[in-house]
Amino acid sequence: METAAAAPPRVQALADAGVSLLPAQYVQPPELRPDPTTTTTHRRAPTAASLSVPVVDLSSPGAGDAVRRACAEWGAFHVVGHGVRPGLLDAMRGAGLAFFRSPMEEKLRFACDQARGAAAEGYGSRMLANDDSVLDWRDYFDHHTLPDSRRDPTRWPDFVPGYRDTVVKYSDSMKDLAQKLLRIVSESLNLPPSYIEEAVGEVYQNITVSYYSPCPQPDLALGLQSHSDMGAITLLIQDDVGGLEVLKDGLWIPVPSLPDGILVILADQTEIITNGRYKSAVHRAIVNADRARLSVATFYDPSKSRKICTAPQLVCKEHPQKYRDVIYGDYVSSWYSKGPEGKRNIDALLIEQ
């Protein structure tokens, strides 16, 4: 683990110190900044106010049709009636908040081991391997939770009562929900219910708690740069502060917190498997000057040795194969070596038609 001396600067420490100017390494290029008055590739517009991420009640008879529309039109949607106890959602948010409100010396005991490379488990602030990338205004704790061989609760905080037990229960609940959703997604494309699940193979699950401190110049920074997720599906809960945005038809649409709701974000491997019928959702996190924000993202991914291929049932003359097959580990390495750069990593796999 990192020692306090070796640990990189934490965003929370900068915010607590009262910095009045954003350090240069956090300043986004003008074209990627969230300020709507800046000339950007993707703009907010009055029509964005009329758009909102769909909400699907999984307990309703029409859930399958609603999921189909949400996947085809958005790639992201809230689910309610999902069967996960509201108390568990609150407990997971509470555990994360308690960690980030703890003394720095306690948190640093569980700092990422940089020798393990990008995305090492633990408390960190920089996830990419390249040192010259613009940094996100974010701290995080990443837990390796599945398969069981990766799950080692001794690497998680021991100074927050019930923390480790909460993460284990939350991990198991999110696995069940992800598998339920992937079955619905498969059926919505007239594939066998287990098709996407089997295409993904043994699930590798990470749970990342992100903490976005108040930012002195939020118009220059991003909490999380524009990107689509690498794996199969992401399940996210957040507090009531707001800051998550999804890109829809060139507009950034705010995603408010939904009480007891869980946000579903389709990721790149699902887009490959579905031959682009369903697209992964491009999203980002903006920050504000006054309130810290917390979110918990659960990533459901293939193993790095898994070869991801388009479902042959979804390839025809009218819908030729869009993406090359890919070994998931190669895909991950590409992303961590260069970062999102405000783009979709999946576009590098497009087949020229």
Pair 272, 302: CB distance under 8 Å:
no
Q: What is the pLDDT of residue 38?
A: 33
Question: Comparing 49 with 221, which gets the higher pLDDT?
Answer: 221
Range of lowest pLDDT (64-68, 117-121, 268-272, 289-293): 117-121
Report the candidate in 337, 335, 345 with the shortest Cα–Cα distance to residue 131: 337
CA count, 13 A, side-chain hemisphere, 155: 18
Q: Tell me the C-alpha to C-alpha distance, in Å, between residue 78 and each of 66, 116, 169, 208.
A: 11, 34, 21, 19
- 336 φ/ψ angles, rounded to the nearest 5 degrees: -75, -25
| DSSP-based three-state secondary structure for 189 | coil
Distance between CA atoms of 95 and 346, rounded to whole angstroms? 34
What are the pLDDT digits (tens) for 158-177?
999 999 999 999 999 999 99
Q: In the predicted model, what is the mean pLDDT of residues 250-277?
A: 96
Specify the CATH number for 50-348; select among 1.10.3720.10, 2.60.40.2480, 3.30.230.10, 2.60.120.330: 2.60.120.330
Distance between CA atoms of 35 and 301, rounded to whole angstroms? 33
Give 277's strand partners. none
| DSSP-based three-state secondary structure for 244 | strand
Distance of CA 116 to the CA centre of its chain: 21
Pair 232, 269: CB distance under 8 Å:
yes
Pair 287, 215: CB distance under 8 Å:
yes
Length of the chain: 353
Q: Answer whether residue 2 shows pLDDT above 50.
A: no
Question: Comparing 252 with 40, which gets the higher pLDDT?
Answer: 252
Q: Answer whether residue 272 shows pLDDT above 70.
A: yes
Distance between CA atoms of 99 and 124, rounded to whole angstroms? 13
What are the pLDDT digits (tens) for 72-124?
999 999 999 999 999 999 999 999 999 999 999 999 999 998 777 667 899 99
Q: Answer whether residue 50 shows pLDDT above 90.
A: no
What are the pLDDT digits (tens) for 203-218?
999 999 999 999 999 9
Distance between CA atoms of 188 and 173, rounded to whole angstroms? 23
pLDDT above 90 covers a percentage of the chain that reads: 83
The band of 45, judged by pLDDT with boundaries at 50, 70 and 90, is low
Domain residue spans of the chain? 50-348
Residue type at 57 in one-letter notation: D
What are the pLDDT digits (tens) for 283-301?
999 999 999 999 999 999 9
Report the candidate in 315, 304, 293 with the shortest Cα–Cα distance to residue 15: 293
Q: Answer whether residue 66 shows pLDDT above 60.
A: yes
What are the pLDDT digits (tens) for 6-31?
445 899 999 999 999 999 999 999 99
Pair 285, 294: CB distance under 8 Å:
no
Query: Residue for token digits 């607590």?
Result: 16
